[in-house]
Amino acid sequence: MTPKIEILSYHSEDHQEIRRIFSEGQLENVKYGIILGLQNPRIKAFLGIATIIGFSFFNSWFHTLFCPILAWLIQIFSVWHCYYFYVKNVLKTDLKDKELKFWTSIPNAFVVAKLNGKVVGCGSYKKVNEETVEMHRVAVDYRFRGMKIGKALVSTLMNKAKNEGFKIMYLETSQAQIVAQKMYEKMGFQFLRRLNIGEGYLAFLHNHFSGLYELAYIKKL
């Protein structure tokens, strides 16, 4: 039997699965984020300075290594907390209520991908101005990757926004979401600018010690 993928409007019975898929999709970026963050020149300098400090104040190689290891642990924590803080904030705000009133209220939109009746992905957009919408919450269950579900979600959102009279779709994605970046570019989105990844009261920690950033893309509908 050929799998049947449908992109449908959101219903309240999809709520728990949507929250799970979104959370898992974001938190799996931590491991990639740690690796990518270490490639940032600022983080390399941070680790280098920590090594120099350790070498200057301790007399053994064992103790000298303590400072760069501590610096690396700070970077790991910064990346983890960046995604953890983001997921926690989303789950207690716009994905909190079962009806998803913010996303399902016109002119905003929220769609769900279903495979043989099972929720396997989601995506949404919100109105920015009379011409522009911003895409959010695009996520696909990791067990069903490689089936072009993400592409189907994004295409549906673009068509829906276009039919509603919008002319531009804008989105932001983290540096760690390499697969998503490639998909957006193949679908015609153009890189716009690089953004700080931090938000909230720990923005300084996220921006300066994670080594990560966000990428903004835009596409004319």
Segment 181-205 shows an average pLDDT of 86
Segment 171-176 shows an average pLDDT of 94
Can you give the pLDDT at residue 123? 97
Whether this model's pTM surpasses 0.75 = yes
Can you give the pLDDT at residue 208? 85
Maximum Cα–Cα distance across the chain? 69
DSSP 106-162: TT-EEEEEEETTEEEEEEEEEE-SSSEEEEEEEEE-GGGTTSSHHHHHHHHHHHHHH
- Tokens 């579900």 correspond to what residue? 149
Segment 48-53 shows an average pLDDT of 88
Q: Is the pLDDT of residue 201 over 70?
A: no
Q: What's 201's DSSP letter?
A: G
Distance CA 62, CA 70 (A): 13
pLDDT tier for residue 1 given thresholds of 50, 70 and 90: low
Coil vs helix vs strand at 65: coil
Do residues 103 and 94 touch, judged by C-beta distance below 8 A?
Answer: yes
Can you give the pLDDT at residue 114? 96
pLDDT digits (tens, 9 = 90+) for 90-141: 999 999 999 999 999 999 999 999 998 899 999 999 999 999 999 999 999 9
Q: What's 211's DSSP letter?
A: -
Could you name the CATH architecture of 1-221? Answer: 3-Layer(aba) Sandwich (3.40)
Can you give the pLDDT at residue 53? 84
Can you give the pLDDT at residue 91? 96
Q: What is the chain's length? A: 221
Q: Which residue has the higher pLDDT, 175 or 3?
A: 175
Q: Point out which residues pair with 124 in neighbouring strands.
A: 110, 136
pLDDT digits (tens, 9 = 90+) for 130-163: 999 999 999 999 999 989 999 999 999 999 999 9
Can you give the pLDDT at residue 51? 86
Can you give the pLDDT at residue 61? 78
